Amino acid sequence: MNYFSCSCNQKMVDWIIVMDKAKLETRVHRLIFEGKGILAADESTGSIKKRFDSVGVASTPENHRLYRQMLFTTPNIKNFISGVILFDETIRQNTDGGIAFPDCLAKIGITPGIKVDMGAKDMANFPGEKITEGLDSLRERLSDYVNLGAEFTKWRAVIKIDKDLPTDGCIYANCEALARFAALSQEQDMVPIVEPEVLMEGSHTLERSAEVSKRMMKNLFIALSRHRVYIKGMLLKASWVHPGFDYPEKSDSKEIAKTTLRVFKEVLPDELPGVVFLSGGDSPEDSTDHLDKLNELENIPWKLSFSFGRALQEPALKAWVGKSENIAHAQQLFYERARLNSLARSGDY
Footprint on this chain of ligand 13P (rule: CB under 6 A): 40, 156, 195, 278-280, 308-311
Contact 84, 109 (CB under 8 A): no
Least distance in angstroms from the C-beta of 311 to ligand 13P: 5
Least distance in angstroms from the C-beta of 295 to ligand 13P: 18
**CA 165, CA 267: separation in Å to the nearest integer?**
20
**Of 118, 117, 105, whose CA–CA distance to 151 is shortest?**
105
- Residues annotated as catalytic are 195, 237
**Between 19 and 28, CB nearer to ligand 13P:** 28
**Between 145 and 308, CB nearer to ligand 13P:** 308
**Between 19 and 295, CB nearer to ligand 13P:** 295
**CA 206, CA 154: separation in Å to the nearest integer?**
27
User: Which DSSP string do the residues of 262-281 spell out, in sequence order?
Assistant: HHHHHHS-TT--EEEE--TT
**CA 173, CA 162: separation in Å to the nearest integer?**
18
Query: Cis peptide before 127, with omega less than 30 degrees from 0?
Result: no
By beta carbon distance, the residue nearest ligand 13P is 309
**CA 29, CA 44: separation in Å to the nearest integer?**
27
**Between 40 and 71, CB nearer to ligand 13P:** 40
Least distance in angstroms from the C-beta of 20 to ligand 13P: 26
Least distance in angstroms from the C-beta of 114 to ligand 13P: 12
**Of 154, 155, 267, whose CA–CA distance to 211 is shortest?**
267
**Of 309, 273, 305, whose CA–CA distance to 291 is shortest?**
305
Least distance in angstroms from the C-beta of 27 to ligand 13P: 18
Please state the length of the chain: 349
Helix (H) or strand (E) holding 306: strand 303-306
**Between 19 and 158, CB nearer to ligand 13P:** 158
**Of 202, 193, 242, 240, whose CA–CA distance to 220 is shortest?**
193
Q: Please report, as a single letter, which amino acid is at residue 155.
A: W
Which strand ranges, in their side-by-side order, compose the sheet holding 37-40?
37-40, 81-86, 111-115, 152-159, 191-198, 235-238, 274-277, 303-306
Least distance in angstroms from the C-beta of 25 to ligand 13P: 23
**Between 102 and 309, CB nearer to ligand 13P:** 309
Beta bridge partners of 131: 121
